Structure 1
């Protein structure tokens, strides 16, 4: 569904608003404009809706700016998914259609090249949002900023997955992007319960680039690849609210069985579990040598959501 006839949608914006009517989730708003595209297929599970967040051309280019507003009505269960990884193509000079109309004065070329995505989400009482997109994949020299804010009612639930890959490893792009910056904030009844920030910056190394006569023993430059290897995918998942309890209980049981001991080589896959907001929420962090290992682990870890959103609906996640 696009905008109502005659309605003007600002470039690069989208709006999702849904409510429960009888046993069906109905969208009062499902609108988007280039480069964002929103599609909602029919689902068989009562009280559940799915929206795919996509972009024209299969990705975002330097300078693209996308803003999405999401309103989940009472007793609705909304799954926000994507089809394939969110590709962020390399920077290129000049204005893009998605940025040209959003500012009144020119920005420096360095700022024009940054791809930005922002999301403002409101989740009503007894509702749930399952934000389970594919990972972000930044191409060489790309610069990406993402800011997502979630406002929950006291009885609302959320499963939030935010993950990034090292890039197109098959062609030698391994943590070769310029900058990746992601911020996730979660508020419950106006009180901030979680704030997660990830900054991966190739433009500001943590050590000097070369040795010089005054500092002959300075170590060489450590790139992102040096610091993040051997892993090619890092993920953060936050679970909060009553509709996540069964999944969290299963994860806690699995986590208690982990033994920590010294190893001669890095594990192929790592994960950790931490409580937030005095145990009312849970944060999972994971890293894998291969992105598929991370995807397969999350697919199994969240399998308890089949009871919440439906078996057929859950099968659409992590394809």
Structure 2
């Protein structure tokens, strides 16, 4: 299917330069003979990066990157740091082959993943992984920082599950934190987001999340993705207006306000969309759902329009 690239791959006779000492992964995508190509790919334990020779239609010219870890998961205390540069006019997608498993914590050790990416002018970078699944007692921290220009295009899917709920581990991890920052041009903040779940002495995560087992966020930014943003916002609005419509009752303007839906009547999936940035150049969708499969279906349906750019529809094989 592809090859594991753990050494520098240099195009056009450029000398190889050593990776930053703290980085466990470095990827550079540039134009080579008019097409997007990986000109540098470095990874070291516990990270592996696979660059398949072909994913989907070759006419798209997109580069696909698969981020993996030895042992199929992140061990307590692991620290993974990866930098990605997507050059002007290039297209790249970064994904995983399965859910990212975060194993049980040893003491108070936290597992960490950091991604820092630069997206060039008229470039497209799609970060479309499978969900993070934290085992019982796990501690996990993730940070993703993106530097973009006014014409850059960015897709971020950031999502996690309640754990191995088929084994009875439902929101049983100790802590989960995910941070996403997008900076425009000279480090002007464009999107700042943080999610934190911790076990509390008065109220557990499971009690707060109730029957929902999946939390997801989708960010779409850039001129190439405007039509996908508009379509997703319209479809989410229509879907939720039906599912959350309170039962009608007489009484006109003086009728009692609708009461919160009882748990047995809550929708299996709740979604919302909000624009951000100057003139709504970006959009963020937030989803909570009872099942992982329903979120896969949501992502598959609403991101299918990325296929012409990426050569394959995200999550189509899930």
Which TM-score band (shorter chain)? 0.7 to 0.9
Please list the CA deviations of residues 254-292 of structure 1 after superposition, one character each: whole Å capped at 9, or x if unmatched. Answer: 134242423442110110000111411100000110011
Match of 1:56 in 2: 70
After TM superposition, the structure 1 = structure 2 runs for residues 22-33 of structure 1, keeping only pairs within 5 Å, are 22-33=33-44
- The CA deviation at 1:138 is 0.4
Q: Contact 2:23/2:83 (CA < 8 Å) preserved in 1?
A: no
Q: Give yes or no for the alignment of 1:261 onto 2:275.
A: no
Q: Give yes or no for the alignment of 1:193 onto 2:190.
A: yes
Please list the CA deviations of residues 196-253 of structure 1 after superposition, one character each: whole Å capped at 9, or x if unmatched. Answer: 1000001xx2xxx5xxxxxxxxxxx321000012110000111000121121121122
- 60-69 or 182-191, which moves further after superposition? 182-191
Unaligned 5+ runs, structure 1:
94-109, 210-220
Match of 1:222 in 2: 203
Cα–Cα, structure 1 residues 89 and 12, in superposed 2: closer, same or farther, change >3 Å?
farther
- 188-197 or 1-10, which moves further after superposition? 1-10
Separation of aligned partners in 2, 1:137 and 1:304: 27
Please list the CA deviations of residues 69-91 of structure 1 after superposition, one character each: whole Å capped at 9, or x if unmatched. Answer: 00001111100000110100001
Q: Give yes or no for the alignment of 1:40 onto 2:51.
A: yes
Separation of aligned partners in 1, 2:140 and 2:149: 30
Q: Contact 1:18/1:25 (CA < 8 Å) preserved in 2?
A: yes
Please list the CA deviations of residues 166-198 of structure 1 after superposition, one character each: whole Å capped at 9, or x if unmatched. Answer: 000011100000000110000121321111100
**From 134, 141, 163, the counterpart of 1:145:** 141
CA RMSD of aligned residues (A): 1.9
Separation of aligned partners in 1, 2:280 and 2:47: 36
Separation of aligned partners in 1, 2:34 and 2:211: 48
SS of alignment partner, residue 3 of structure 1: coil
